[in-house]
Amino acid sequence: MTSRRIGAGIVGMGNIGTMHARALRDLDDRVALVAYSGAHRATEETLAGWPAAFVTPEEVIGSAEVDVVAICSPSGSHAALALAALEAGRHVVVEKPLAVRVEDAVRIAEVARERGLTVSMISQRRFEPEHARLKEAVDAGALGDIRLATTHVHWFRDDDYYRAARWRTSMAEGGGSLMNQGVHNVDLLRWLCGPVESVTAQYGTLAHAMDAEDTTVATLRFASGALGVITTTTATPPGSPATIALHGSRGSVELGQGEVLRWDVPEVSAPGSGRAPASGAADPLAIGHVGHLTQWREILSAVEGKSPAPVDAADAVETVRLLCAIYEAAATGRAVRPAELG
């Protein structure tokens, strides 16, 4: 990589694509947005003076000036676009999830490895200070053996939200409360507590007329022996901030959205309050771009060859395995082992 700024392209300049553009704008000494696609042209505020070309997704991926492609399109299109970008020799950043099927996620990881390219799935909540501090405490054994881990994403989305984008109503396209809203907390739980050995689950569509589920409950058995619970919903107005809690043999922690609700860890102080990110409990646009900015800093270092990719393809595959295992367990009524999928 030369000393020139890294060229970035965004496929899907909607709400999330705009979040990425804001993060890139804050890093414009290292990166420049050179091309983007979307249903509409971006505003001058979003482009921040960049002379970015408004082109098709194929032209974003094929542009010789683009080094890294950020895929911010509907979830069901992530895999095909990521593979196309990799085949074109581009590094890839993929919004959650990496793919909606395990076999597609595995293929992305294989192609990235074969071509020596960077893939990073956006998992911005791992970079929030309280989660980073909890990860350090868990890895240091400060909580002892984890015995119970829970996460609850009890949000609300009205019918207008689903009418605005039909893919959100389709389970096959990743529109359910687990894959679309709960994915970040599922990713956090797996990252904090390690591999999941088996899952059982139930789901239902309780508040919306659509194919996708809007409520899911899952129980987990981690490889460590710990047990876990995941609940997600978009059917509970007005919506409340997501929570995650770990209970160990030496201590317990419960975190909200940018908030420490409980921190009982011997000899380890709680992280500072800082500026809490807004919750997407009722408004999906309220999350802000600080987490994306933090992850993009590390992504650029990886593209420059200075460090490993944050939340790389192999890591992201395991989150997809867990999500798909929960869906399969709910659909079949049996326990499912994520490691056996794909």
Per residue, the 3-state secondary structure of 133-149, as one string, reads HHHHHHHCCCCCCEEEE
pLDDT recorded at residue 1: 41
- Asked whether residue 2 carries a pLDDT value surpassing 50, the answer given is no
Q: In what order do the strands lie in the sheet with 146-154?
A: 196-204, 215-222, 227-233, 146-154, 243-248, 252-255, 260-264
Per-residue H/E/C for 162-179? HHCCHHHHCCCCCCCHHH
**Can you name the residues that pair with 252 across neighbouring β-strands?**
247, 264
Lowest mean pLDDT among 47-56, 82-91, 167-176, 284-293: 284-293
- Give the distance, in angstroms, between the CA of residue 156 and the centroid of all CA atoms in the same chain: 19
Question: How far is it, in rounded angstroms, from Cα 92 to Cα 303?
Answer: 10
Please spell the DSSP secondary structure of 53-122, one letter per residue: EE--HHHHHH-TT-SEEEE-S-GGGHHHHHHHHHHTT-EEEEPSPS-SSHHHHHHHHHHHHHHT--EEE-
Helix (H, G, I), strand (E, B) or coil at 255: strand
pLDDT (tens digit per residue) in 12-62: 999 999 999 999 999 999 999 999 999 999 999 999 889 999 999 999 999
Query: 1 vs 241, 330, 332, CA distance in Å?
Result: 41, 46, 49
Inform me whether the pLDDT recorded for 134 exceeds 80: yes
Q: What is the mean pLDDT of residues 322-337?
A: 98
Mean of the per-residue pLDDT values of the chain? 94
Q: Phi-psi region for residue 311, left (φ > 0), alpha (ψ -120 to 50) or beta?
A: left
> What's the one-letter identity of residue 164?
A
**pLDDT for residue 288 is more than 80:** no
Q: Which domains does the chain show, CATH number per domain?
A: 6-124+291-312 (3.40.50.720), 125-286+319-340 (3.30.360.10)
DSSP state of 336: B
The pLDDT assigned to 284 comes to: 57
Whole-number Cα distances in Å, 320 to 164, 179, 326, 335: 25, 9, 10, 17
Is the per-residue pLDDT at 294 higher than 80?
yes
* pLDDT computed for residue 50 by the predictor: 92
Question: pLDDT tens digit string along 199-244?
Answer: 999 999 999 999 999 999 999 999 999 999 999 999 999 999 999 9
Q: How far is it, in rounded angstroms, from Cα 68 to Cα 251?
A: 42
Alpha-carbon gap, residue 117 to 110, rounded angstroms: 10
pLDDT score of 278: 59
Quote the CA–CA distance of 281 and 278 in Å, as a whole number: 9
Q: Please, what is the angle between helix 102-115 and helix 78-87, to 10°?
A: 10
